[in-house]
């Protein structure tokens, strides 16, 4: 029988402990706006960040890293070369890597790069609905980094991308959708304040890489990563007065997150 929502919740709770026990080394080739926040999120979770994103270093490091994040938020020329180098090396080494195709569709340089990287078969693709639709060749993207499409509208596009890569696709939104082309899960946790902190979405890609590094079932590990992240957001929102205090509370909530918090609060279907 396929796993139930209760099975995924139990897996997510246990996966948190595995991440902390293994402290995966996550290489982040990410955008300049979110580097510090992404590193702090990984540290709070119990993983180890490494921002190695220049040609000549990115490939060798990807071979020894536990997981890799490739985020296209601010892809200058040198970093674009490093991203391809890291993705190729990760693929050769069997290292799990996550592609976050930020603002693809309307912007030609990153769209071409995203399609090149997609051919290298990322383990997980994470984006908002408009980005996933554009990546599947079915739309022109959103409004900059913001989605103009609903999550459910991206369901078929997500399945097509998953089929093309042989990996997992996560569509972020009020209710996150995760699919590997065959299995699909939805997670209804989170808080709107997460969208008002720079890096709130981008750092999730790094968390997915950390989780993928410690579990071979990458669909289940992606569900677990999103569940932990969004449950922590709910707990942080209870302590926050606004986006500034939320950002601090979110790091604290990730660090203090317990298996029991996930078991009690996860809304997986």
Q: Is 221 left (phi over 0), alpha (psi -120 to 50) or beta?
A: alpha
Beta strands 96-100 and 124-128 are parallel
Provide the sign of the torsion angle of the four alpha carbons 166, 168, 171, 177, taken in this order. positive
Check if the beta carbon of residue 162 is closer than 8 Å to that of residue 179. yes
Check if the beta carbon of residue 228 is closer than 8 Å to that of residue 206. no
Check if the beta carbon of residue 28 is closer than 8 Å to that of residue 50. yes
Q: How far apart are CA 97 and CA 227, in angstroms?
A: 19
- For residue 121 the two structure tokens come to 């078969």
Q: Is 199 annotated as a binding residue?
A: yes
Q: How far apart are CA 154 and CA 255, in angstroms?
A: 32
Q: Is 126 annotated as a binding residue?
A: yes
Nearest Cα neighbor of 23 from 213, 199, 205 is: 213
- Phi and psi torsions of 96, nearest 5°: -65, 135
Nearest Cα neighbor of 101 from 60, 161, 43 is: 161
Q: How far apart are CA 263 and CA 70, in angstroms?
A: 30
Q: How far apart are CA 163 and CA 172, in angstroms?
A: 19
Q: Residues within the annotated binding site for ATP?
A: 126, 172
Q: Residues within the annotated binding site for substrate?
A: 51, 199
Q: Residues within the annotated binding site?
A: 51, 126, 172, 199
């Amino acid at each position: 029988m396929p796993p139930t929502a209760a099975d995924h919740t139990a897996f997510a709770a246990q996966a948190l402990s595995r991440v902390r026990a293994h402290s995966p080394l996550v290489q982040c080739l990410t955008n300049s706006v979110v580097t510090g926040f992404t590193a702090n999120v990984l540290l709070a979770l119990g993983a180890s960040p490494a921002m190695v994103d220049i040609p000549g270093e990115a490939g060798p490091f990807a071979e020894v890293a536990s997981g890799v994040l490739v985020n296209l938020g601010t892809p200058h020329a040198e970093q674009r070369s490093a991203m391809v180098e890291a993705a190729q090396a990760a693929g050769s080494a069997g290292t799990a890597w996550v592609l976050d195709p930020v603002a693809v569709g309307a912007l030609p340089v990153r769209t071409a790069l995203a399609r090149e990287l997609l051919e290298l078969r990322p383990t997980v693709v994470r984006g908002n609905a408009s980005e996933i639709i554009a990546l599947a060749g079915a739309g022109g993207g959103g409004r900059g980094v913001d989605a103009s499409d609903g999550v459910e509208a991206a369901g078929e596009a997500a399945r097509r991308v998953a089929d093309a890569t042989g990996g997992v696709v996560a569509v972020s939104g009020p209710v996150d959708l995760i699919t590997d082309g065959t299995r699909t899960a939805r997670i209804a946790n989170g808080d709107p304040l997460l969208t008002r902190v720079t890096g709130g979405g981008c750092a999730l890609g790094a968390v997915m890489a950390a989780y993928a590094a410690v579990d071979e079932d990458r669909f289940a590990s992606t569900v677990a990563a999103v569940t932990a992240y969004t449950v922590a957001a709910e707990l942080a929102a209870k302590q926050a007065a606004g986006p500034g205090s939320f950002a601090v509370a979110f790091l604290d909530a990730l660090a203090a997150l317990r298996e029991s918090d996930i078991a009690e609060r996860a809304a997986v279907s």
